[in-house]
Structure 1
Amino acid sequence: MQNAVGARVEHNLVDGFNTRSGGYNAGIRAWNSDAVRYRFNEVTGGHGTRDSMAHDLYGGNNGTSTSTTTATTTRAASC
C-alpha cells in the first residue's frame, strides 16, 4: 500500500511471498501512509536472501497500528 490514509488491512492470509524475485520484498508493506490499521493478518512462507520479511511498515508512515497479527520466519532461498 502506498500513500494511503485511514486504510484497514484486515483478515488477510499471505502464504508464500517473494518466491520468484531475488530482490527485497515483504508480505504486507506500507509506504508513506498515515493512520493505517493492521489487524488479524497472517503472513507465512516467504523466501529471500536479502531483506525479506513478513511485515514492513516504514517510509514515512504516521499513526500506523498493528494488533493480532501472526508472522512466521522467512526462509532463505538456496543459492
Structure 2
Amino acid sequence: MISMLPWTCKPGRMRDDVEVRLGPGDRERLEGVAADRKSPQHHVWRTRIVLMAADGAGTMAIRASTGKGKPTIWRCGR
C-alpha cells in the first residue's frame, strides 16, 4: 500500500507539504507495471506520475514529462 502524509492546500502558495512515500517493494512493483508492455496505458502513465511524485518532482515537471493536466496529476499523486 502506498501511504502519504496528510496535506492542506493553501491559496496562493505552492503545496510544499505533500510527500508520497513508497513502502518496501512498492517501487519495484510500480516499475514493473510501467515496464510491462502488456499493461494498459492508463496504468502506465498513472504509475509514472506516482513514481515521479515519490522522487520529489513538482507538478510542472510531471506535467511536462507525461503530458497530463494538473487535475489528473493531483488525483494520481495523492
- Structure showing the higher strand proportion among its residues: 1
TM-score, normalization: structure 2? 0.24
Task: Please identify which structure carries the higher helix content.
Answer: 2
